[in-house]
Structure 1
Amino acid sequence: MPTNITKNKFITNILSNDYDKVCKTISRCPSVVHECITDGRNPLHKAIYQKNTDIVKLLLDSGADANKCESKGMQTLFEFNNNIDVVFDGVTPLFAAISKGDLNYSIVQILLEYGVNVNQCDYHNTSPLYLAIKGRNTRIANLLLEYGADVNICNYTNTSPLQVAAMNGNSQIVKALLERGATTDITNADAANADSANADSTNTSPLYLAAVRWANPLFIAKKKEYESIIKMLLNSGADVNKCSICLDNLN
Protein backbone atom coordinates (compact mmCIF):
# COMPACT_ATOMS: atom_id res chain seq x y z
CA MET A 1 0.00 0.00 0.00
CA PRO A 2 1.41 3.42 -0.92
CA THR A 3 2.37 5.79 1.87
CA ASN A 4 0.79 9.23 2.18
CA ILE A 5 4.06 10.72 0.95
CA THR A 6 3.96 8.53 -2.15
CA LYS A 7 0.32 9.42 -2.82
CA ASN A 8 0.93 13.13 -2.39
CA LYS A 9 3.98 13.09 -4.67
CA PHE A 10 2.02 11.08 -7.21
CA ILE A 11 -0.76 13.66 -7.29
CA THR A 12 1.78 16.49 -7.44
CA ASN A 13 3.37 14.88 -10.49
CA ILE A 14 -0.04 14.50 -12.14
CA LEU A 15 -0.83 18.16 -11.48
CA SER A 16 2.51 19.19 -12.95
CA ASN A 17 1.90 16.94 -15.99
CA ASP A 18 5.12 15.02 -15.32
CA TYR A 19 4.41 11.85 -17.27
CA ASP A 20 7.76 10.18 -16.59
CA LYS A 21 7.51 10.54 -12.81
CA VAL A 22 3.90 9.36 -12.83
CA CYS A 23 4.98 6.32 -14.83
CA LYS A 24 7.87 5.55 -12.44
CA THR A 25 5.61 5.77 -9.38
CA ILE A 26 3.13 3.35 -10.94
CA SER A 27 5.97 0.95 -11.74
CA ARG A 28 7.12 0.98 -8.10
CA CYS A 29 3.64 0.98 -6.54
CA PRO A 30 0.87 -0.09 -8.98
CA SER A 31 -1.93 0.27 -6.42
CA VAL A 32 -1.38 4.02 -6.21
CA VAL A 33 -3.73 4.50 -9.20
CA HIS A 34 -6.66 3.43 -7.00
CA GLU A 35 -5.94 5.68 -4.04
CA CYS A 36 -8.13 8.63 -3.10
CA ILE A 37 -6.52 11.69 -1.57
CA THR A 38 -7.73 13.98 1.20
CA ASP A 39 -10.26 15.88 -0.93
CA GLY A 40 -11.95 12.64 -1.99
CA ARG A 41 -10.67 12.62 -5.55
CA ASN A 42 -8.61 9.95 -7.18
CA PRO A 43 -5.68 10.24 -9.59
CA LEU A 44 -7.84 9.72 -12.69
CA HIS A 45 -10.05 12.68 -11.80
CA LYS A 46 -6.99 14.84 -11.24
CA ALA A 47 -5.55 13.93 -14.63
CA ILE A 48 -8.89 14.67 -16.30
CA TYR A 49 -9.12 18.09 -14.65
CA GLN A 50 -5.59 18.72 -15.96
CA LYS A 51 -6.79 17.71 -19.45
CA ASN A 52 -3.72 15.47 -19.76
CA THR A 53 -4.68 12.80 -22.28
CA ASP A 54 -1.44 10.83 -21.99
CA ILE A 55 -1.63 10.50 -18.21
CA VAL A 56 -5.32 9.60 -18.39
CA LYS A 57 -4.47 6.75 -20.77
CA LEU A 58 -1.56 5.68 -18.58
CA LEU A 59 -3.80 5.50 -15.50
CA LEU A 60 -6.48 3.54 -17.36
CA ASP A 61 -3.89 1.15 -18.79
CA SER A 62 -2.63 0.69 -15.23
CA GLY A 63 -6.03 -0.35 -13.94
CA ALA A 64 -7.68 2.87 -12.80
CA ASP A 65 -11.47 2.48 -12.50
CA ALA A 66 -13.14 4.52 -15.25
CA ASN A 67 -16.45 4.49 -13.35
CA LYS A 68 -15.22 5.40 -9.86
CA CYS A 69 -16.99 8.39 -8.32
CA GLU A 70 -15.42 11.12 -6.29
CA SER A 71 -16.42 10.91 -2.64
CA LYS A 72 -16.48 14.63 -1.85
CA GLY A 73 -18.04 16.29 -4.86
CA MET A 74 -19.07 19.38 -2.91
CA GLN A 75 -15.53 20.64 -3.42
CA THR A 76 -15.78 20.58 -7.21
CA LEU A 77 -17.65 23.87 -7.82
CA PHE A 78 -14.66 25.73 -9.22
CA GLU A 79 -13.52 22.85 -11.40
CA PHE A 80 -17.02 22.51 -12.85
CA ASN A 81 -17.00 26.11 -14.07
CA ASN A 82 -19.48 27.14 -11.35
CA ASN A 83 -22.19 24.88 -12.77
CA ILE A 84 -24.23 24.22 -9.63
CA ASP A 85 -26.06 21.33 -11.29
CA VAL A 86 -22.97 19.15 -11.09
CA VAL A 87 -21.80 20.04 -7.59
CA PHE A 88 -22.57 16.93 -5.60
CA ASP A 89 -21.19 13.60 -4.55
CA GLY A 90 -21.13 11.09 -7.38
CA VAL A 91 -18.91 12.77 -9.97
CA THR A 92 -17.58 10.08 -12.28
CA PRO A 93 -14.54 10.47 -14.52
CA LEU A 94 -16.90 10.84 -17.49
CA PHE A 95 -18.79 13.67 -15.76
CA ALA A 96 -15.49 15.34 -14.92
CA ALA A 97 -14.40 15.19 -18.55
CA ILE A 98 -17.74 16.41 -19.94
CA SER A 99 -17.73 19.35 -17.55
CA LYS A 100 -14.72 20.77 -19.39
CA GLY A 101 -16.54 20.77 -22.72
CA ASP A 102 -14.77 20.39 -26.04
CA LEU A 103 -11.41 20.90 -24.34
CA ASN A 104 -11.77 17.34 -23.05
CA TYR A 105 -13.35 15.76 -26.12
CA SER A 106 -10.41 13.40 -26.59
CA ILE A 107 -10.56 12.32 -22.95
CA VAL A 108 -14.29 11.63 -23.20
CA GLN A 109 -13.50 9.52 -26.26
CA ILE A 110 -10.78 7.61 -24.41
CA LEU A 111 -13.05 6.88 -21.45
CA LEU A 112 -15.72 5.55 -23.79
CA GLU A 113 -13.19 3.40 -25.62
CA TYR A 114 -12.12 1.95 -22.26
CA GLY A 115 -15.68 0.90 -21.53
CA VAL A 116 -16.93 3.59 -19.16
CA ASN A 117 -20.65 3.30 -18.36
CA VAL A 118 -22.16 5.86 -20.73
CA ASN A 119 -25.42 5.90 -18.77
CA GLN A 120 -24.10 6.10 -15.21
CA CYS A 121 -26.04 8.92 -13.55
CA ASP A 122 -25.20 11.06 -10.55
CA TYR A 123 -27.26 11.24 -7.37
CA HIS A 124 -29.73 13.60 -9.06
CA ASN A 125 -30.20 11.07 -11.88
CA THR A 126 -28.48 13.41 -14.32
CA SER A 127 -27.00 11.41 -17.18
CA PRO A 128 -23.78 12.22 -19.05
CA LEU A 129 -25.88 12.93 -22.16
CA TYR A 130 -28.08 15.41 -20.27
CA LEU A 131 -24.97 17.15 -18.91
CA ALA A 132 -23.39 17.44 -22.36
CA ILE A 133 -26.57 18.80 -23.96
CA LYS A 134 -27.16 21.29 -21.17
CA GLY A 135 -23.58 22.49 -21.59
CA ARG A 136 -24.20 22.92 -25.34
CA ASN A 137 -21.42 20.44 -26.08
CA THR A 138 -22.80 19.11 -29.35
CA ARG A 139 -19.73 17.12 -30.36
CA ILE A 140 -19.59 15.33 -27.03
CA ALA A 141 -23.34 14.70 -27.05
CA ASN A 142 -23.06 13.10 -30.50
CA LEU A 143 -20.14 11.00 -29.30
CA LEU A 144 -22.15 9.76 -26.31
CA LEU A 145 -25.01 8.86 -28.64
CA GLU A 146 -22.63 6.87 -30.84
CA TYR A 147 -21.70 4.84 -27.76
CA GLY A 148 -25.30 4.06 -26.90
CA ALA A 149 -26.34 6.81 -24.49
CA ASP A 150 -29.97 6.40 -23.37
CA VAL A 151 -31.93 9.31 -24.86
CA ASN A 152 -34.81 9.04 -22.41
CA ILE A 153 -33.13 9.19 -19.00
CA CYS A 154 -34.73 12.09 -17.12
CA ASN A 155 -33.18 13.83 -14.14
CA TYR A 156 -34.85 14.23 -10.75
CA THR A 157 -37.16 16.97 -12.07
CA ASN A 158 -38.34 14.64 -14.86
CA THR A 159 -36.54 16.74 -17.45
CA SER A 160 -35.29 14.87 -20.51
CA PRO A 161 -32.33 15.48 -22.83
CA LEU A 162 -34.83 16.34 -25.59
CA GLN A 163 -36.40 19.09 -23.48
CA VAL A 164 -32.99 20.60 -22.81
CA ALA A 165 -32.01 20.41 -26.48
CA ALA A 166 -35.28 22.12 -27.45
CA MET A 167 -34.72 24.81 -24.83
CA ASN A 168 -31.25 25.46 -26.26
CA GLY A 169 -32.58 25.56 -29.82
CA ASN A 170 -30.11 22.84 -30.78
CA SER A 171 -31.80 21.40 -33.87
CA GLN A 172 -28.89 19.08 -34.63
CA ILE A 173 -29.15 17.35 -31.27
CA VAL A 174 -32.96 17.35 -31.37
CA LYS A 175 -32.74 15.51 -34.70
CA ALA A 176 -30.21 13.01 -33.34
CA LEU A 177 -32.31 12.33 -30.24
CA LEU A 178 -35.49 11.82 -32.25
CA GLU A 179 -33.72 9.44 -34.62
CA ARG A 180 -32.79 7.34 -31.59
CA GLY A 181 -36.31 7.19 -30.20
CA ALA A 182 -36.49 10.11 -27.78
CA THR A 183 -39.94 10.45 -26.21
CA THR A 184 -41.55 13.65 -27.50
CA ASP A 185 -44.22 14.20 -24.84
CA ILE A 186 -42.37 14.06 -21.53
CA THR A 187 -43.69 16.92 -19.41
CA ASN A 188 -42.76 18.20 -15.99
CA ALA A 189 -45.96 18.20 -13.96
CA ASP A 190 -45.48 21.74 -12.64
CA ALA A 191 -45.26 23.30 -16.09
CA ALA A 192 -48.88 22.64 -17.00
CA ASN A 193 -50.06 24.63 -13.98
CA ALA A 194 -47.98 27.75 -14.58
CA ASP A 195 -49.62 31.16 -14.92
CA SER A 196 -48.42 34.58 -16.02
CA ALA A 197 -48.73 36.44 -12.71
CA ASN A 198 -45.96 38.60 -11.29
CA ALA A 199 -44.37 39.44 -14.64
CA ASP A 200 -41.04 41.23 -14.54
CA SER A 201 -39.85 44.19 -16.64
CA THR A 202 -39.66 41.98 -19.73
CA ASN A 203 -43.27 40.91 -19.13
CA THR A 204 -41.98 37.44 -18.28
CA SER A 205 -42.99 35.87 -14.98
CA PRO A 206 -40.93 33.35 -13.04
CA LEU A 207 -43.69 30.81 -13.56
CA TYR A 208 -43.63 31.50 -17.28
CA LEU A 209 -39.91 30.84 -17.36
CA ALA A 210 -40.44 27.65 -15.39
CA ALA A 211 -43.12 26.56 -17.84
CA VAL A 212 -40.93 27.17 -20.87
CA ARG A 213 -38.05 25.37 -19.24
CA TRP A 214 -39.87 22.30 -18.01
CA ALA A 215 -42.81 21.79 -20.41
CA ASN A 216 -42.82 19.22 -23.18
CA PRO A 217 -40.44 19.75 -26.11
CA LEU A 218 -43.12 20.95 -28.55
CA PHE A 219 -44.38 23.56 -26.08
CA ILE A 220 -40.82 24.77 -25.57
CA ALA A 221 -40.13 24.97 -29.31
CA LYS A 222 -43.38 26.88 -29.95
CA LYS A 223 -42.74 29.44 -27.22
CA LYS A 224 -39.14 29.92 -28.40
CA GLU A 225 -40.28 30.01 -32.05
CA TYR A 226 -37.84 27.35 -33.20
CA GLU A 227 -39.59 26.47 -36.45
CA SER A 228 -37.23 23.71 -37.57
CA ILE A 229 -37.50 21.98 -34.20
CA ILE A 230 -41.30 22.29 -34.25
CA LYS A 231 -41.39 20.53 -37.63
CA MET A 232 -39.09 17.75 -36.47
CA LEU A 233 -41.15 17.14 -33.34
CA LEU A 234 -44.43 17.08 -35.26
CA ASN A 235 -42.96 14.72 -37.84
CA SER A 236 -41.91 12.46 -34.98
CA GLY A 237 -45.42 12.29 -33.57
CA ALA A 238 -45.39 14.96 -30.87
CA ASP A 239 -48.90 15.43 -29.45
CA VAL A 240 -50.23 18.87 -30.42
CA ASN A 241 -52.99 18.55 -27.83
CA LYS A 242 -50.51 18.27 -24.99
CA CYS A 243 -48.81 21.42 -26.19
CA SER A 244 -52.18 23.19 -26.40
CA ILE A 245 -52.99 22.26 -22.81
CA CYS A 246 -49.76 23.87 -21.62
CA LEU A 247 -50.44 26.99 -23.67
CA ASP A 248 -54.01 27.28 -22.38
CA ASN A 249 -52.85 27.04 -18.77
CA LEU A 250 -50.07 29.54 -19.34
CA ASN A 251 -52.14 32.28 -21.02
Structure 2
Amino acid sequence: MACVIASGNTRGADFAALPTKIHLFGPEGRQRVSIVSLRNQIPSVVLDVGRVDVSVADPGIALINDGIVTAVSDGETVLRVQVDEQTIEVPIVVANTKVEHQWSFRNDVQSVLAKSGCNMGACHGALAGKGGFRLSLRGYDPHQDFLSITRQARGRRIEMADPGRSLFLAKPTGALPHKGGLRLDVESRDYRVLSQWIANGANGPNNDDPILQRISVTPENAMLSPGDSSQVLVSAHYNDGRVVDVTHWAK
Protein backbone atom coordinates (compact mmCIF):
# COMPACT_ATOMS: atom_id res chain seq x y z
CA MET A 1 0.00 0.00 0.00
CA ALA A 2 1.25 3.46 -0.84
CA CYS A 3 1.98 5.83 2.04
CA VAL A 4 1.81 9.61 2.03
CA ILE A 5 5.00 11.33 3.18
CA ALA A 6 4.06 14.81 4.27
CA SER A 7 4.78 17.73 6.52
CA GLY A 8 2.47 18.25 9.46
CA ASN A 9 -0.73 16.28 10.01
CA THR A 10 -1.71 14.72 6.67
CA ARG A 11 -3.61 11.66 7.77
CA GLY A 12 -6.70 13.28 6.34
CA ALA A 13 -5.11 13.83 2.90
CA ASP A 14 -7.24 12.29 0.17
CA PHE A 15 -4.45 12.06 -2.39
CA ALA A 16 -0.91 10.72 -2.72
CA ALA A 17 2.19 11.36 -4.80
CA LEU A 18 3.85 8.30 -6.29
CA PRO A 19 6.54 7.22 -5.83
CA THR A 20 6.71 8.18 -2.18
CA LYS A 21 10.48 8.73 -2.39
CA ILE A 22 12.49 9.95 -5.37
CA HIS A 23 16.11 8.91 -5.95
CA LEU A 24 17.87 10.35 -9.01
CA PHE A 25 21.23 8.99 -10.14
CA GLY A 26 23.55 10.83 -12.51
CA PRO A 27 23.02 13.86 -14.76
CA GLU A 28 20.30 12.00 -16.70
CA GLY A 29 18.39 11.01 -13.57
CA ARG A 30 14.64 11.43 -13.94
CA GLN A 31 11.44 10.20 -12.35
CA ARG A 32 7.86 10.51 -13.52
CA VAL A 33 5.46 11.43 -10.71
CA SER A 34 1.82 10.44 -10.50
CA ILE A 35 -0.65 12.34 -8.28
CA VAL A 36 -3.59 10.08 -7.47
CA SER A 37 -6.69 10.23 -5.34
CA LEU A 38 -7.02 7.79 -2.44
CA ARG A 39 -9.91 5.51 -1.61
CA ASN A 40 -9.54 3.99 1.85
CA GLN A 41 -5.83 4.89 1.59
CA ILE A 42 -5.51 2.85 -1.63
CA PRO A 43 -4.36 4.67 -4.82
CA SER A 44 -7.11 5.36 -7.32
CA VAL A 45 -7.51 7.64 -10.36
CA VAL A 46 -5.00 10.29 -11.42
CA LEU A 47 -6.08 13.77 -10.35
CA ASP A 48 -6.96 16.48 -12.85
CA VAL A 49 -3.80 18.56 -13.35
CA GLY A 50 -5.89 21.69 -12.95
CA ARG A 51 -6.32 20.84 -9.26
CA VAL A 52 -2.67 20.12 -8.59
CA ASP A 53 0.16 22.55 -7.84
CA VAL A 54 3.57 20.84 -7.91
CA SER A 55 6.97 22.41 -7.22
CA VAL A 56 10.47 21.52 -6.05
CA ALA A 57 11.61 23.33 -2.92
CA ASP A 58 15.18 23.77 -4.22
CA PRO A 59 15.34 24.06 -8.03
CA GLY A 60 19.11 24.00 -7.75
CA ILE A 61 18.84 20.30 -6.84
CA ALA A 62 16.01 19.13 -9.11
CA LEU A 63 13.34 20.44 -11.46
CA ILE A 64 9.88 19.24 -12.41
CA ASN A 65 8.33 19.70 -15.83
CA ASP A 66 5.33 17.90 -17.34
CA GLY A 67 5.19 15.58 -14.35
CA ILE A 68 8.84 14.49 -14.59
CA VAL A 69 11.44 15.33 -11.94
CA THR A 70 14.97 15.71 -13.35
CA ALA A 71 18.35 15.96 -11.64
CA VAL A 72 20.26 19.26 -11.51
CA SER A 73 22.94 18.77 -8.85
CA ASP A 74 23.76 16.51 -5.91
CA GLY A 75 21.77 17.09 -2.75
CA GLU A 76 18.42 16.64 -1.05
CA THR A 77 15.19 18.56 -1.38
CA VAL A 78 11.45 17.88 -1.46
CA LEU A 79 8.69 17.83 -4.01
CA ARG A 80 5.72 19.86 -2.76
CA VAL A 81 2.29 18.81 -3.97
CA GLN A 82 -0.76 20.91 -3.15
CA VAL A 83 -4.34 19.94 -3.92
CA ASP A 84 -6.94 22.44 -2.70
CA GLU A 85 -5.90 23.18 0.91
CA GLN A 86 -3.85 20.02 1.44
CA THR A 87 -0.08 19.79 0.94
CA ILE A 88 2.24 16.80 1.01
CA GLU A 89 6.00 16.54 0.52
CA VAL A 90 8.00 13.82 -1.20
CA PRO A 91 11.73 13.51 -0.40
CA ILE A 92 14.13 13.87 -3.34
CA VAL A 93 17.73 12.63 -3.21
CA VAL A 94 20.07 13.39 -6.14
CA ALA A 95 23.52 11.82 -6.48
CA ASN A 96 26.41 11.45 -8.95
CA THR A 97 25.41 14.33 -11.24
CA LYS A 98 29.08 15.19 -11.81
CA VAL A 99 29.84 11.73 -13.20
CA GLU A 100 30.08 11.68 -16.99
CA HIS A 101 27.07 9.91 -18.41
CA GLN A 102 27.36 7.22 -21.05
CA TRP A 103 24.29 5.62 -22.57
CA SER A 104 24.40 1.84 -22.29
CA PHE A 105 23.75 -0.24 -25.39
CA ARG A 106 22.33 -3.08 -23.32
CA ASN A 107 20.11 -1.02 -21.02
CA ASP A 108 19.29 2.15 -22.97
CA VAL A 109 19.73 1.63 -26.72
CA GLN A 110 18.02 -1.76 -26.62
CA SER A 111 15.15 -0.22 -24.64
CA VAL A 112 14.61 2.45 -27.31
CA LEU A 113 14.59 -0.21 -30.04
CA ALA A 114 12.06 -2.30 -28.14
CA LYS A 115 9.78 0.66 -27.41
CA SER A 116 9.89 1.71 -31.08
CA GLY A 117 9.01 -1.81 -32.17
CA CYS A 118 12.22 -2.19 -34.20
CA ASN A 119 13.10 -5.61 -32.77
CA MET A 120 9.60 -7.07 -32.86
CA GLY A 121 8.67 -10.05 -35.03
CA ALA A 122 6.85 -7.88 -37.55
CA CYS A 123 9.94 -5.72 -38.07
CA HIS A 124 13.70 -6.30 -37.88
CA GLY A 125 13.20 -8.91 -35.17
CA ALA A 126 11.79 -11.31 -37.78
CA LEU A 127 13.81 -14.47 -38.39
CA ALA A 128 15.06 -13.13 -41.73
CA GLY A 129 15.06 -9.49 -40.63
CA LYS A 130 13.72 -6.70 -42.86
CA GLY A 131 15.50 -4.91 -45.69
CA GLY A 132 18.75 -6.73 -45.01
CA PHE A 133 18.82 -5.64 -41.35
CA ARG A 134 18.15 -8.20 -38.64
CA LEU A 135 17.87 -7.74 -34.88
CA SER A 136 17.32 -10.41 -32.26
CA LEU A 137 13.68 -10.80 -31.28
CA ARG A 138 12.94 -8.38 -28.43
CA GLY A 139 16.68 -7.87 -27.93
CA TYR A 140 17.55 -11.28 -26.48
CA ASP A 141 21.06 -11.16 -28.05
CA PRO A 142 22.54 -7.68 -27.47
CA HIS A 143 26.01 -8.69 -28.68
CA GLN A 144 24.75 -9.80 -32.10
CA ASP A 145 22.49 -6.75 -32.33
CA PHE A 146 25.46 -4.49 -31.66
CA LEU A 147 27.40 -6.13 -34.49
CA SER A 148 24.43 -5.85 -36.84
CA ILE A 149 24.09 -2.13 -36.13
CA THR A 150 27.74 -1.13 -36.15
CA ARG A 151 29.55 -3.59 -38.43
CA GLN A 152 27.17 -4.72 -41.16
CA ALA A 153 26.25 -2.72 -44.29
CA ARG A 154 29.92 -1.66 -44.50
CA GLY A 155 29.46 0.35 -41.33
CA ARG A 156 27.04 2.78 -42.99
CA ARG A 157 24.41 2.37 -40.30
CA ILE A 158 26.57 4.42 -37.93
CA GLU A 159 28.20 7.83 -38.60
CA MET A 160 30.02 8.83 -35.43
CA ALA A 161 31.14 12.19 -36.83
CA ASP A 162 27.57 13.09 -37.80
CA PRO A 163 25.05 10.85 -36.00
CA GLY A 164 22.07 12.34 -37.84
CA ARG A 165 23.38 10.92 -41.11
CA SER A 166 23.49 7.39 -39.70
CA LEU A 167 21.08 5.01 -41.43
CA PHE A 168 20.29 3.84 -37.91
CA LEU A 169 18.70 7.26 -37.28
CA ALA A 170 17.86 8.60 -40.73
CA LYS A 171 15.46 5.78 -41.59
CA PRO A 172 13.27 5.61 -38.46
CA THR A 173 13.01 9.43 -38.39
CA GLY A 174 11.83 9.60 -42.02
CA ALA A 175 14.91 11.43 -43.29
CA LEU A 176 15.37 8.47 -45.66
CA PRO A 177 12.69 6.11 -47.02
CA HIS A 178 11.78 3.44 -44.48
CA LYS A 179 9.23 0.70 -45.05
CA GLY A 180 8.57 0.60 -41.33
CA GLY A 181 7.39 4.21 -41.38
CA LEU A 182 8.12 6.92 -38.82
CA ARG A 183 9.40 5.34 -35.62
CA LEU A 184 11.41 8.10 -33.99
CA ASP A 185 10.85 11.83 -33.47
CA VAL A 186 14.05 13.88 -33.83
CA GLU A 187 12.90 16.06 -30.91
CA SER A 188 12.39 13.10 -28.58
CA ARG A 189 14.55 11.91 -25.71
CA ASP A 190 14.81 8.52 -27.42
CA TYR A 191 16.44 10.17 -30.44
CA ARG A 192 18.85 11.95 -28.08
CA VAL A 193 19.73 8.63 -26.44
CA LEU A 194 20.63 7.05 -29.78
CA SER A 195 22.42 10.07 -31.26
CA GLN A 196 24.51 10.66 -28.13
CA TRP A 197 25.35 6.97 -27.94
CA ILE A 198 26.68 7.16 -31.50
CA ALA A 199 28.54 10.45 -30.91
CA ASN A 200 30.21 9.02 -27.81
CA GLY A 201 31.69 6.11 -29.73
CA ALA A 202 28.79 3.65 -30.05
CA ASN A 203 30.11 1.40 -27.30
CA GLY A 204 28.74 -2.12 -27.18
CA PRO A 205 27.59 -4.35 -24.34
CA ASN A 206 30.28 -5.43 -21.90
CA ASN A 207 30.68 -7.43 -18.72
CA ASP A 208 30.66 -4.28 -16.57
CA ASP A 209 27.14 -3.27 -17.60
CA PRO A 210 24.67 -3.03 -14.72
CA ILE A 211 22.42 -6.07 -14.92
CA LEU A 212 18.66 -5.76 -14.66
CA GLN A 213 17.49 -7.83 -11.71
CA ARG A 214 13.79 -7.06 -11.69
CA ILE A 215 11.13 -4.53 -12.57
CA SER A 216 8.46 -3.18 -10.26
CA VAL A 217 5.17 -1.40 -10.79
CA THR A 218 3.78 1.44 -8.65
CA PRO A 219 1.15 1.33 -7.29
CA GLU A 220 1.05 -2.40 -6.65
CA ASN A 221 -2.67 -2.12 -5.91
CA ALA A 222 -5.32 0.36 -7.04
CA MET A 223 -9.02 0.79 -6.35
CA LEU A 224 -10.92 1.76 -9.50
CA SER A 225 -14.55 1.86 -10.55
CA PRO A 226 -15.68 0.37 -13.88
CA GLY A 227 -14.53 2.70 -16.65
CA ASP A 228 -11.82 4.35 -14.52
CA SER A 229 -8.20 4.43 -15.60
CA SER A 230 -5.03 5.33 -13.78
CA GLN A 231 -1.30 5.55 -14.37
CA VAL A 232 1.32 3.01 -13.37
CA LEU A 233 5.00 3.78 -12.94
CA VAL A 234 7.56 1.16 -13.94
CA SER A 235 11.00 0.97 -12.31
CA ALA A 236 14.05 -1.09 -13.29
CA HIS A 237 16.19 -2.40 -10.43
CA TYR A 238 19.86 -3.01 -11.32
CA ASN A 239 22.54 -5.00 -9.52
CA ASP A 240 24.55 -1.82 -8.82
CA GLY A 241 21.76 -0.57 -6.55
CA ARG A 242 20.22 1.92 -8.96
CA VAL A 243 16.47 2.11 -9.42
CA VAL A 244 15.61 3.78 -12.74
CA ASP A 245 12.25 5.05 -13.97
CA VAL A 246 11.55 3.18 -17.22
CA THR A 247 7.87 4.06 -17.51
CA HIS A 248 8.44 5.65 -20.91
CA TRP A 249 9.98 2.44 -22.27
CA ALA A 250 7.45 0.05 -20.76
CA LYS A 251 4.86 -1.62 -22.98
With the length of structure 2 as denominator, give the TM-score of the two structures.
Answer: 0.24
- The structure where strand makes up a greater share of residues is 2
Using CA pairs below 8 Å that are at least 6 residues apart, which structure has the higher relative contact order? 2
| TM-score, normalised by the number of residues in structure 1 | 0.24
